[in-house]
């Protein structure tokens, strides 16, 4: 049990003892009420940057943060899901939740009635338009229909700009969320919208026609919001939580988990991938599903790996002689008993078994998604080179069990100063980093595409241990 959780458990025990001594006395402050009730009630939004039900359960930056805080307190998390920012603020004002973890920007008007925790993310407001339509040069030279979220920081900023641009006009939508507005723009229903930079980065992979015209603001901060009309006990506990998350590196790890692979948007590559999902994937999907079942893996991850390797071309051949849909070397294929590397079924089955052996070779203490990202790097660069990079990571003060730290040091394997000290020598570590980050994006797009276009099956009673790769609680 963590020190923080022991502290809160002890506080709850003391509270209950006081209640027994004092008869029917009630908890005195909000933190005590949460501990006594065993439940933390948080209002959030249903978006890719906050909280959503993914193919494998709940996920999102805000979900992970709120789950971590609830776990520290030793209570259950109950989410109140609002449709948009206006509803989030209304739920807070009506006392329906203890605080908001909803991707809210810290603004001066909001600070009059809300108190914000330390910021956990930095974003910029950006004007978005659709590829193929004229790009506005500035906010003062924009022609067309601009629509933004009601009660949002975007609407607040436009109101301030109105003083300098009297002809500036926009519509505030109180029904949709930010991603739905971006979808309207993608479909050509509206001409422009304003969104935060992290929302655009996430959604460009699914809606590749979205384009950024220009930044509307300097960087702003996202934070949890607590009503000022309540006592500050729970707020102070949340503040301490964020300070610990920042100091121990867990906050940076969460940011990397959700955004570390989405910064480099490739329009042509994304459009090609979406087309190949429709045209090429169906003929190989049964083989991916069979191999995944046989090896307790996620078939979508195998499919993402194969796309990075060969673009789902079973006859693909690299200049170095690796070939097939999973791009196996001749030696690896021989060790796996794969007779024909260009046979899709053999290649997928062999590649899946090889990937599983890499997962199993990693130290047991490496958990969750880090285990999968490190195994992917080993699939690309070789297990020995990965171990060299992990040793360098430790020598430089990083955590060799965290992908976030190892990916910073993998590129050093092509520098003589570093590879001359390693067991396995020179390697193109920067390519391994791109390899893993590309697969992470392909996986996200593939999961989103399947979730959008196919009925969601009921979850099984139990999942193989390897499926924990996609568990947002990790």
The set of catalytic residues is 309
Residue 446 has φ and ψ, to the nearest 5°, of -65, -45
Q: How far is CA 58 from CA 46, 53, 67, 79, 471, in A?
A: 10, 4, 10, 11, 8
The tokens describing 308, both together, are 């990075």
Strand partners, 100: 43, 225
How far from chain centre, in Å, is Cα 284?
Answer: 27
DSSP 3-state of 123 = strand
Helix 281-295 to helix 344-361 angle, to the nearest 10 degrees? 40
Rounded CA gap, 289 and 68, in Å? Answer: 33
Q: What share of the chain is helix, strand, coil (3-state, %, to 5)?
A: 50, 15, 35
Q: Which two tokens stand for residue 258?
A: 């959700």
User: What's the half-sphere exposure (Cβ side, CA atoms, 13 Å) at 265?
Assistant: 19
CA gap 171, 188 in Å, rounded: 16
Residue in 426, 402, 398 with CA at minimum distance from that of residue 412: 426
What secondary structure letter does DSSP report for 465? G
In terms of C-beta density within 10 A (0-12 exposed, 13-18 middle, 19 or more buried), how is residue 356 classed?
Answer: middle
Helix axes of 197-204 and 178-186: crossing angle, nearest 10 degrees: 50
Helix (H, G, I), strand (E, B) or coil at 421: coil
- CB–CB of 177/153 below 8 Å? no
Q: How many whole angstroms separate alpha carbon 146 and alpha carbon 136?
A: 12
Instruction: Quote the Cα angle for 126-131-133, to 5°.
Output: 95
Selection from 354, 368, 365, 355 nearest residue 390 by Cα: 365
End-to-end CA distance of the chain: 17
Q: Which helix (H) or strand (E) holds 126?
A: strand 125-130
Burial class (CB in 10 A: 0-12, 13-18, 19+), 57: middle
């Amino acid at each position: 049990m963590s020190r923080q959780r022991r502290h809160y458990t002890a506080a709850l025990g003391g509270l209950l003892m006081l209640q027994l001594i004092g008869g029917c006395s009630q908890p005195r402050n909000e933190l005590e009420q949460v501990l006594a009730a065993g439940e933390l009630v948080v209002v959030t939004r249903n978006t890719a940057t906050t909280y959503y039900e993914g193919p494998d359960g709940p996920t999102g930056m805000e979900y992970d943060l709120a789950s971590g805080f609830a776990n520290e307190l030793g209570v259950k998390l109950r989410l109140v899901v609002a449709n948009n920012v206006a509803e989030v603020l209304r739920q807070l004002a009506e006392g329906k939740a203890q605080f908001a973890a909803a991707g809210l920007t810290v603004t001066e008007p909001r600070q009059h009635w809300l108190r914000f925790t330390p910021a956990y993310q930095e974003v910029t407001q950006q004007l978005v338009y659709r590829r193929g339509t004229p790009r506005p040069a500035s906010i003062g030279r924009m022609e067309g229909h601009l629509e933004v979220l009601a009660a949002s920081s975007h609407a607040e900023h436009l109101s301030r700009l109105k003083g300098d641009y009297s002809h500036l006009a926009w519509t505030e939508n109180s029904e949709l969320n930010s991603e739905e507005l971006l979808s309207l723009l993608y479909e050509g229903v509206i001409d422009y919208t304003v969104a935060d930079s992290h929302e655009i980065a996430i959604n460009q992979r699914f809606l590749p026609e979205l384009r950024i015209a220009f930044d509307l603001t300097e960087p702003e901060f996202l934070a949890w919001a607590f009503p000022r009309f309540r006592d500050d006990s729970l707020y102070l506990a949340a503040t301490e939580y964020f300070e610990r998350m920042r100091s121990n590196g867990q906050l940076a790890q969460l940011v990397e988990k959700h955004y570390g692979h989405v910064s480099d948007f490739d329009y042509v590559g994304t459009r090609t991938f979406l087309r190949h999902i429709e045209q090429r994937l169906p003929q190989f999907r049964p083989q991916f599903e069979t191999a995944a079942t046989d090896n307790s893996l996620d078939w979508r991850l195998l499919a993402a790996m194969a796309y990075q390797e060969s673009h789902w071309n079973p006859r693909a051949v690299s200049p170095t002689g690796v070939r097939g849909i999973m791009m196996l070397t001749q030696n690896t294929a021989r060790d796996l008993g794969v007779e024909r590397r260009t046979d899709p079924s053999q290649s997928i089955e062999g590649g899946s078994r090889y990937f599983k052996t890499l997962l199993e070779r990693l130290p047991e203490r490496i958990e969750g998604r880090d285990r999968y990202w490190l195994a992917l790097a080993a699939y690309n660069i070789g297990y020995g080179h990965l171990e060299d990079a992990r040793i360098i990571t430790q020598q430089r003060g990083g955590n060799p069990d965290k992908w976030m730290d190892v990916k910073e040091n993998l590129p050093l394997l092509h520098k003589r100063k570093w590879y001359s000290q390693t067991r396995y020598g020179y390697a193109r570590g920067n390519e391994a980093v791109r390899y893993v980050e590309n697969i992470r994006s392909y996986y996200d797009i593939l999961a989103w595409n399947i979730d959008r276009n196919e009925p969601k099956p009921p979850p099984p009673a139990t999942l193989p241990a390897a499926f924990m790769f996609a568990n947002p609680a990790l």
